[in-house]
Amino acid sequence: MTSNTKKKVTAKKYELTACRICKSQKLYPFLDLGYMPIPNGFIDKKDLNKVELNYPLRVCVCENCWLMQLQHVIPAEIMFKNYLYVPSTSKTMMNHFDQMSEETLKVAHARKDNLIIDIGSNDGALLSFFKKRGVQILGIDPAENIVQDANKRGIRTKCAFFSEEVGIETEKEFGKAKVITATNVIAHIDDIHSVIKGIKAMLHPQGVFVMEAPYVIDLIDNNEFDTIYHEHLSYFAIRPLIKLFEMYGMKVIDVRKQNIHGGTVRVYAAFENSNYEVHPRVSNFVTEETLKKLHLRTTYDEFARRVKVIKQDLVSFLKRIKKEGRSIIGYGASAKGNVLTNYCGITTELLNFIVDSTSYKHGKYTPGTHIPIFPESKLEKETPDYALLLSWNFAEEIIEKNKKYRERGGQFIITIPYLKIV
């Protein structure tokens, strides 16, 4: 393994002193995943010996509104200006976005001349389905490399970090939006109050804002600790989100559970004085969060204890089969996979390489652990004994597409919610 010179970064990152939503200073730290590089900081071969910036990855929970959140904030520019994650390589995600566009247009009673804005639009995967349904579209995303591609493919996209100011200028330029979407992005933004003010500025009085984010109950119940990384500043429950929208004269009108990314909530919000009724499902989520004891420290302490057991079980299993002379690779060069390998100290001493479907990542190396990334086609020619599924959230799709590898005797190692071999 190339020596990974861990440099602890002090400049520019900052430590949270108050809750991102309610500003309470009662923050309870409960899990420390150590210092590690940013989760999508894939490295070119020529840079392998350069010093890598490592940041603390510690989680706390606000004891006032019970928002789970990272204790340190890494500057967004470092993580998102040049971004290597795109959702469109997954059929599961594309089917999900297709269904989401259909559902949101129905909820908002949108017409063809209505504007739909997607915040954090990435490669335009979601907007492409809105465009197919004939409505006007606009993306907003900070990743210069991906925005360029999106515009080339006819997905009109502004390159910017979303904020109140960007919302105001976007409304002036494009008018009010009947639907504003934000999938896996609100959890990534530090100044969440600025974002909500920006959304208010762009939203039609009878419009809906729809956000998707991993659901904290699934994260805790399924031990999804590898979804805790520097990009994800907040880990949402519904109750703190209701409080956030109420601060700005908005209401959560519906919450619908989704199976993607290890368990996600699709949250609909609208202006308090709009025509939308609040669906009874909303209070069911709040009740469930009380039953799951999200308001007690022990819930988080118990989760942290399970994380340590999963790490021990996985590392000892991998070391044992390696000692028996078996070959092991990784499948899916995901951000969560980079957290798992860095937290567990899994390097090329255990995984020979990782295969991935994202062309941007081929030929690069994982941050911190420096494992080489190859196209999935490498598995057509080789049959390693085991593939550690680093993108377990796409287990069904990945296992299905690798029938031949499994017929040749290859087996998948799945770590979440507990270690199992399929």
Work out which of 56, 142, 207, 332 binds ligand DWN, going by CB under 6 A: 332
| DSSP assigned state of 312 | H
Pairing of strands 386-389, 328-331: parallel
Stretch touching ligand DWN by CB under 6 A, among 26-34, 134-142, 266-274, 327-335: 327-335
Cα distances (Å, whole numbers) of residue 351 to 39, 61, 122, 232, 340: 18, 34, 30, 26, 12
Residue given tokens 């204890």 in the structure block: 305
CA angle 15, 18, 24 (to 5 degrees): 160
Work out which of 176, 397, 399, 417 binds ligand DWN, going by CB under 6 A: 397
Burial of 68 (0-12, 13-18, 19+ CB in 10 A): buried
Neighbours of 13 (CB within 10 A): 15
Does 215 interact with ligand DWN (rule: CB under 6 A)? no
Q: Which is nearer to ligand DWN, 143 or 282 (CB)?
A: 143
DSSP H helical segments within 185-296, as ranges? 192-202, 216-221, 238-246, 281-291
Q: Which is nearer to ligand DWN, 141 or 356 (CB)?
A: 356
Stretch touching ligand DWN by CB under 6 A, among 61-69, 154-162, 391-399, 404-412: 391-399
Does 398 interact with ligand DWN (rule: CB under 6 A)? yes
Does 263 interact with ligand DWN (rule: CB under 6 A)? no
Does 394 interact with ligand DWN (rule: CB under 6 A)? yes
What would the x/- binding string for ligand DWN be over residues 68 to 87, using CB under 6 A? -----------------x--
What would the x/- binding string for ligand DWN be over residues 173 to 212, using CB under 6 A? -----------x----------------------------
Backbone φ and ψ for 162, nearest 5 degrees, come out as -70, 145
Contact criterion met (CB below 8 Å) for 230 and 79: yes
Stretch touching ligand DWN by CB under 6 A, among 4-12, 101-109, 243-251, 386-394: 386-394
Binding site for ligand DWN (CB under 6 A): 85, 89-90, 92, 184, 231, 261, 332-336, 356-358, 376, 391, 393-394, 397-398, 401
